[in-house]
Structure 1
Amino acid sequence: MDEEVVTESRKETEVAPALVSVHPDGHYVAVAVGPELRVFDLIGGCAASLVDDSVDQPFHKDNIRAIRFGANGKLFVSAGDDKTLKIWSSQSWQCISTVSSEKRVTAVAISNDGLHVCFADKFGLVWVVDLNQPSRDKKPTPLLSHYCSIITSLEFSPDNRFILSADRDFKIRVTNFPNNPLNGAHQIQSFCLGHTEFVSCLAFVPAQEGPHSLLLSGSGDSTVRLWDISSGALLDTCEVAVKAGLLESNGKAEEHDHAVTNLCTTLDGLLVAVSIQSLRGIVLLRCNVSAQTLSVAKVVSIAGEAFIPTCLANNPLTRELWMVTGVSNLPGYNYPSLARVLVISGIDVEQEPVVLGDNKIPGGEKLLETLQGTASVDDNAFLVAAEAVKAAMCNLLIKKQYPSENREYRKKTRNDRKLKE
């Protein structure tokens, strides 16, 4: 009975961080918070009208855990705890396909040729959807598995040769993406091993010349690491929480308070924006591609409000970094979904970045009303939201250690055993 109460309590307090994604041509900005998907048309200066004939509103019935645009900008996907992945045309904002998952979805990726969508579920299985299938309700096919380890991030390499999957068990798997993925992906290129806590995010360093083999990863161990995926070799490690003054070197006791939550490349990979739990701002890393090193370029602080980013997205055309903070189902507050959007301009090696005021954000007041909602939120709510995200991330991604007697009890009360009985 006690075990059931604990499980139910954890379920009630489970929250999802707000997410942001920017169209590769800077046409649209999308924000997901809770089950809500909000898209703003920067060219038209208005909210995009999403149409999904398969369901009534809302489009998702539970927390959205992953959103992203395809590399060519024609597709957008959203997926999450309602065990549903939706594929949208970003030209008409019509939902062109709804895919059902057996388990809750934790990560998504779109192949760079736009022919396949992959998603990972909470049990560590990666599925692939062939977009050439004629039916609207497409069937996913198993692609690969991490064997009961929650997958936190999926990425296709820029040349489409590999699909990368990161998990809570500290590892990054580099798998050859086959010509016929519906038969499964059985050839592993390498493993990138070195993180000491869950891997939270992945991003490729755009290659101006040569192979697309340099990968960045962020982790619960408060580091960003640079890898060569062809061999799995660790090239450099940057202790970003230490460099930002959040954590003393080898300060193991506070690691989980300063997990790297998101990262994205800017300036063709010369700079890397990093968000860290507890940091009111971002860290900009300088990536030296020829020397294969990482170093801190600057820390950009956000003054005047309690803003700790939960997700980042880059607009390569304008060199603007979009950030969102927020959470679903904020405990203790009557906010079904809480989001705040900020933009940093002047992302440059030499130039000093500037956090734009609300009146200078592209899209202005209309954009903020669309992506944030119209409710006025007190500043303290965002601090509570940051703590709620931190607690949810720890509950989900940090493995719990149980005494031997508890482990035996949990084995006996597993759901699959109950079904057999």
Structure 2
Amino acid sequence: MEETPVEGDTKKDVEIAPALIAVHPAEKSVAVAVGSDLRVFDLVDNCPVSLIDESGGSYHKDSIRTICYGSNGQLFVSAGDDKTVKIWSTESWRCIYNVGSEKRVSAAAISPNGMHVCFADKFGVIWVVDLDGGVDGNQPLVNKKAVSLLSHYCSIITSLEFSLDGRFLVSADRDFKIRVTTFPTKPVNEAHEIQSFCLGHTDFVSCIAFISKLECPHGFLISGSGDSTVRLWDILSGSLLATCEIGDKVELLESKEREGCHSAVTSICTIADGTLVAVAIQSLHGIILLNCDLSNHSLSVVKVVSISEETFIPTSLSSSCSTRYLWMVTGVSGLHNLGHSSLVRVKVISGFNKDNPNSTENELSILEDDAIPGGEKLLEKLQGGVTFDEKVFLAAAEAVKTAMSNLLTKKQYSTEKRDFRKRTRNDRKLKQG
């Protein structure tokens, strides 16, 4: 995708942020972030969650750009444009660690053992937070300092994931690169080593995820990109194992004559044991379902799942390890001109069969609102308890496309504008203790 010339940031560009969704590994809860709002619903007790944050004021003061659960489900992280990383205990939903960042945060990940949280900022630096041996959901709030771990040298990091065994930290950026780093046993004190680079994408890498296999404890990596491909990698060697050309397999619901990144992959999610991979596309009203055959190193399209609501373009996908549901969200913040601060719509697809992925042709179904786990009570919490008319939904659908383009497209500035931005930067630095 060609870089879009932009003379500067507008207020609209800064405010609009795509909605995000994350599901607890055992599907005990589900979280949605839109703008600065963080909304959580408890699926076990079937009730909304009240977050506890003793730092004062709102939970986040600017748009949240990343949310994630730890692999054991005990920790949850939220971070974004307010240069604050919040680490929550999912037992009490209390914010137990507050971490300041020098710049806006673009991605985060929790180590499988729950001992470290890593996050990346808009300058391409990855930081690590040592959680001091464990998590106590009732502990008072602690302000932690992060230590720089590695850097992508001025390239914005779009996605961050630990390998399944915790041995490697994988980072992807807007300059087409995927870096695999050996994660030190004591990352605060030990040096890191580069294991490999996964090179092959021809546009920004937007998202990465791991697929498990018994004989491969660290897992296989899949990645999505602005080049309209999903790729399968061996992270030990950096070898490309398979490529699936998404743009050639799906008919987009917009005119291809219009300039823009219509077939950019915006979110990927593995389902069940990773045999199936769900893919969200920037302008597609639905998802693409891929079959991942690790034995033959192949990725193939199983089905394009269309959603009847023409205003539903998924901005984020998530699933748990214990069920066969795929959770989707669409939405943006910053719709003040329409009388709303944000719009969120949640949908769930069921019927996945990991033993026979090709059978999904007849089994998949998009659940009605009252059939979604948590039902209307969940939707009222995660969607903000607001109903929207068709005009607002249509405007929001356009805002989703704008938000995804602004998030993924690399901006270019004139020399004069670049000099002006350097002179007027006001980055908040961490205080040295």
Deviation at 1:235, TM superposition (A): 1.1
**Aligned match of 1:152 in 158, 163, 183?**
158
Q: In the alignment, what sits opposite 2:119?
A: 119
TM normalised by structure 1 equals 0.91
Deviations 1:158-202 (A, max 9, x none): 011110110000110001101111136531111111111111100
Q: In the alignment, what sits opposite 1:204?
A: 210
Q: How does 1:14-29 map to 2 (within 5 A)?
A: 14-29=15-30
**Aligned match of 1:297 in 288, 294, 302?**
302
Q: In the alignment, what sits opposite 1:399?
A: 410
**Aligned match of 1:369 in 354, 367, 380?**
380
Residues 1:55 and 1:276: Cα distance change in structure 2 (over 3 Å): same
Deviations 1:244-299 (A, max 9, x none): 12399xx8985612211100101201000000011111100000010111000111
Structure 1, 75-84 or 180-189: larger mean CA deviation? 180-189
Cα distance in 2 for partners of 1:239, 1:12 equals 30
- The residue identity in structure 2 corresponding to 1:157 is S
Deviation at 1:337, TM superposition (A): 1.5
Q: Determine helix, strand or coil for the equivalent of 2:153.
A: coil
- The residue identity in structure 2 corresponding to 1:278 is S
TM normalised by structure 2 equals 0.89
Deviation at 1:213, TM superposition (A): 4.0
* Identical-pair percentage: 61
- The residue identity in structure 2 corresponding to 1:136 is V
Q: In the alignment, what sits opposite 1:44?
A: 45
Q: In the alignment, what sits opposite 1:188?
A: 194
Q: Say if 2:141 is the partner of 1:141.
A: no
Q: In the alignment, what sits opposite 2:397?
A: 386
Q: Determine helix, strand or coil for the equivalent of 1:243.
A: coil
Cα distance in 1 for partners of 2:60, 2:425 equals 30
Instruction: For CA contacts below 8 A with separation 6 or more, give which structure has more relative contact order.
Output: 2
Q: Determine helix, strand or coil for the equivalent of 1:82.
A: coil
Deviations 1:336-383 (A, max 9, x none): 121000000102212421000011111111101000012111234334
Q: Say if 2:235 is the partner of 1:234.
A: no
Q: Determine helix, strand or coil for the equivalent of 1:173.
A: strand
Cα distance in 2 for partners of 1:36, 1:357 equals 25
Question: What is the Cα-based RMSD across aligned positions, in Å?
Answer: 2.3
**Aligned match of 1:360 in 371, 376, 379?**
371
Does the 8 Å CA contact 2:8/2:417 hold for their aligned counterparts?
A: no
Cα distance in 1 for partners of 2:377, 2:131 equals 34
Cα distance in 1 for partners of 2:13, 2:152 equals 27
Q: In the alignment, what sits opposite 2:352?
A: 347
Q: Determine helix, strand or coil for the equivalent of 1:392.
A: helix
Does the 8 Å CA contact 1:331/1:388 hold for their aligned counterparts?
A: no
Structure 1, 346-355 or 229-238: larger mean CA deviation? 346-355
Does the 8 Å CA contact 1:113/1:160 hold for their aligned counterparts?
A: yes
Q: In the alignment, what sits opposite 1:87?
A: 87
Q: Say if 2:259 is the partner of 1:258.
A: no
Structure 2: where are the runs of 5+ without partners? 1-5, 135-140, 427-433
- The residue identity in structure 1 corresponding to 2:51 is L
Would you tell me which structure has more helix in proportion to its own residues?
Answer: 1
Q: How many residues align?
A: 408
Q: In the alignment, what sits opposite 1:283?
A: 288
